[in-house]
């Protein structure tokens, strides 16, 4: 199903999250990074990172290995090679979420962007699919609306390339939209947003079902972090409950390549071949307790791995969770909004009403 909701937030709490950290090893620097490319003269990338990155991601690997339900940091997947492999995933004919999202966008884009006024600020969490972003911004341009656009991403090179691609598309269409980059995590972006209030309204775009990589409770916390009286969210959610099509979308050969790349990235961060790729397989399952599909690394044999002198044992068939993807119908989305302190006020659905994409506007306008 495809819907969208608006939620009203009465107040914002202080920091509550365990940070999800960028993947590169550079320490945060406050001065903006100005792109020198002749096509990017107007693009400014602001470094919003608050921590040294690689050390904290390594810590996440170790904590995941120590935990009772073993897991690896999902952010291992989202370096530049991972983003390229994910493009292959979403191009697969079996990957239904991408198709349904585009169909919903084509059917509802005018109504969705009608909620945004000229002069508003748009911040997108994740900068992977600039075609989708260009579609939004061109729809705003068609309605005579001028906005300022910020893309937030953890990988500096991917962020730079995505903004250049977007600028090229928009320039050819005669758009004068101002483009900016925010280098950092979702948490970094939320902190930056609180410190850089705007006289205009801000819309946070969280598309592609990315919010559902977190559990429902975590998703509510992230939503709560962004909402203020001057911030709204437009969120894409996948509500499919068809386990067959979910398995086809998330357990194919391209998914395997995408997930296993996370082990290569872990080895790079650990400066050792801790995870030998031949020792691990890939699998997935539906977890009804959290309404989520879960992807795993699966030990091909009994393993004993060492990280900084500490050993971790795996029996053949033992699982190490990589990433989850929630499938939340409108009722579940309303529960998440309520837990975030908000109210779902607007939903755009596809024809199935029970499958596909949900676009959700969460509005914190009532203080």
333-361 residue pLDDT tens: 889 988 988 777 788 888 775 444 556 66
**CATH ID of 33-242+326-363, from 3.40.718.10, 1.10.1270.20, 3.40.640.10, 3.40.50.150:** 3.40.50.150
40-59 residue pLDDT tens: 456 999 999 987 667 778 99
Output DSSP code: residue 252: S
180-224 residue pLDDT tens: 999 999 999 999 999 998 889 999 999 989 999 999 999 999 999
With cut-offs at 50, 70 and 90, classify the pLDDT of residue 119. Answer: very high
Mean pLDDT of the chain: 84
Nearest to 72 by CA among 217, 259, 215: 259
Cβ burial 49-86 (10 Å sphere, 16+ → b, else e):
bebebbebbbebbeebbeeeebbbbbbbbbbebbbebb
List the strands of the sheet with 280-287, edge to edge. Answer: 280-287, 292-299, 319-326
CA 219, distance to chain mean position in Å, is 11
With a pLDDT cut of 70, the percent of the chain lying above it is 84
Arithmetic mean of pLDDT, 286-306 = 96
- How would DSSP label each residue in 170-186? HHHTT---EEEEEES-H
Report the predicted TM-score, pTM, of the whole model to 2 decimal places. Answer: 0.84
Q: What are the residue ranges spanned by the domains of the chain?
A: 33-242+326-363
Structure tokens at 35: 């792109």
Contact 151/183 with Cβ under 8 angstroms?
no
Residue 287 CA to residue 50 CA, distance in Å, equals 34
* pLDDT value of residue 2: 40
* pLDDT value of residue 363: 64
């Amino acid at each position: 199903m495809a819907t969208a909701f608006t939620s009203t937030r009465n107040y914002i709490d202080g920091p509550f999250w365990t940070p999800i950290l960028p993947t590169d090893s550079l320490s945060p620097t406050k001065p903006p990074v100005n792109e020198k490319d002749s096509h990017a003269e107007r693009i400014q990338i602001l470094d919003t990172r608050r921590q040294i990155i690689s050390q904290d991601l390594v810590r996440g690997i170790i904590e995941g290995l120590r935990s009772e339900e073993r897991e690896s940091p999902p952010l291992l997947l989202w370096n530049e090679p991972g983003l390229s492999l994910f493009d292959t995933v979403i191009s697969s004919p079996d990957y239904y979420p991408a198709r349904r999202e585009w169909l919903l966008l084509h059917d509802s884009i005018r109504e969705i962007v009608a909620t945004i006024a000229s002069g508003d600020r748009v911040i997108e969490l994740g900068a992977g699919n600039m075609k989708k972003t260009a579609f939004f911004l061109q729809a705003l341009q068609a309605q005579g609306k001028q906005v300022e656009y910020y893309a937030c991403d953890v990988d500096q090179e991917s962020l730079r390339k995505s903004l250049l691609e977007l600028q090229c598309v928009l320039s050819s269409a005669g758009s004068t939209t101002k483009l900016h980059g925010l280098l950092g995590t979702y948490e970094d972006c939320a902190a930056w947003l609180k410190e850089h209030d705007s006289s205009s309204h801000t819309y946070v775009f969280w598309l592609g079902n990315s919010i559902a990589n977190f559990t429902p409770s975590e998703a509510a916390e992230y939503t709560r972090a962004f909402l203020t009286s001057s911030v709204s969210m437009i969120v894409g959610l996948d509500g499919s409950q068809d386990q067959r099509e979910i398995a086809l979308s998330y357990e194919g050969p391209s998914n395997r390549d995408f997930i296993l790349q996370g082990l290569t990235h872990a080895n790079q961060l650990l400066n050792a071949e801790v995870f030998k790729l031949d020792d691990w397989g890939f699998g997935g399952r539906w977890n009804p307790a959290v309404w989520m599909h879960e992807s795993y690394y699966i030990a091909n044999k009994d393993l004993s791995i060492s990280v900084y002198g500490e050993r971790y044992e795996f029996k053949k068939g033992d699982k190490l969770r990589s990433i989850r993807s929630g499938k939340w119908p409108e009722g579940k989305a309303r529960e998440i909004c309520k837990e975030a302190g908000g109210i779902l006020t607007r939903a755009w659905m596809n024809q199935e009403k029970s499958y596909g994409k949900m676009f959700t506007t969460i509005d914190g306008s009532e203080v």
